[in-house]
Amino acid sequence: MLFDDASAEFHGFFERHYAELSRLAALLTGDPDAADDLAADALLALWRRWDRLRAAEQRLAYARGVVAELARARIRRSVRERRRITLFRSTRSARIEGPDAAAAVDVRTALAWLPFRKRVCVVLRHAFDLSERDTALALGVSVGTVRSRTSKGTAELERMLGARVAGALVTGRGSR
């Protein structure tokens, strides 16, 4: 198959970064089955803008930001759908005040309990080893915002998982 320069360049970008973007989506949504779709949707959005993006230095940062926004939208849709189902199935409201201690041992489950903005900062900083600057660039926020959200998110993980397990996550010794 013949590719023009733009197509070949995008194909190379896709090959190099698809797996990483899929992993990011899986960690943000907690749904590995949807991760490939989100990564593909993000790359499709990039392809549509490739003529403008191919000259940009921060294409990967932009792609990470697109994945984060798509994951956020998916989570919101999922939450709205769960609320609708709950309204139809039950007249009583059963609220869970905190995570189940057994479930909190699983890092992915604990990440799912974090508010999305903190979760995306913790995942990009610690699971993907991005600098504060690169994380800020991917999310379109300031470095100070990344510091704050990462710090608060890590503190929440420590409360849910215990300092030893959360410390292992942050230093890369835990399961991801």
Q: Which residue has the tokens 């942050």?
A: 170
Q: Is the pTM of this model over 0.75?
A: no
Do both 10 and 67 map to the same domain?
Answer: yes
Q: What CATH number is attached to the domain comprising 84?
A: 1.10.1740
Of 47, 79, 95, which residue constitutes the final position of a domain?
Answer: 95
**3-state SS, one letter per residue, for 82-124:** HHHHHHHHCCCCCCCCCCCHHHHCCHHHHHHHCCHHHHHHHHH
Q: Give the number of residues written for the chain.
A: 176
**Residues with Cβ < 8 Å from 85, sequence gap 6 or more?**
none
> Is pLDDT of 100 > 50?
no
> Is pLDDT of 97 > 70?
no
Do both 78 and 37 map to the same domain?
Answer: yes
- Say which amino acid occupies 30: G
> Is pLDDT of 159 > 80?
yes
How far is the first Cα of the chain from the last one, in angstroms, to the nearest whole number?
38
Count of structural domains within the chain: 2
74 CA to centre of own chain: 11
pLDDT digits (tens, 9 = 90+) for 48-90: 999 888 778 889 999 999 999 999 999 888 877 776 666 555 5
Window from 33-37, 55-59, 78-82, 98-102 with minimum mean pLDDT: 98-102
pLDDT digits (tens, 9 = 90+) for 16-30: 999 999 999 999 998
